[in-house]
Structure 1
């Protein structure tokens, strides 16, 4: 038996015919989490708010 459990073994991506072959876990390691979604939501809301203020100040009739 190995001293390292199967789940904790680290495998490196391999290269075949100038292509990098990865497992599905290795390919998903950069998956954005909830903090990225919150950042995008807040920044989009602020952009809408700022554009609304600019429209109200300069373009209202």
Structure 2
């Protein structure tokens, strides 16, 4: 358990690493990758289509 020592919160290394990337991180990665592909496709279609 986190303790307070001299006005600072002290945690063990295990407690400090408890955050996990959840489904929201996966959704953000998927959406941002999809948007990047879409934008690159539009740029290619507008500027490099022959």
The two structures have a TM-score, normalised by structure 1, of 0.58
Count of residue correspondences: 42
Q: Which runs of 5+ in 1 are unaligned?
A: 1-10, 14-20
* RMSD over aligned Cα atoms: 1.4
Give a deviation string over 1:3-51, Cα, whole Å, max 9, x none: xxxxxxxx132xxxxxxx522xx24322110011111101110110011
Structure (1 or 2) with the larger CA radius of gyration: 1
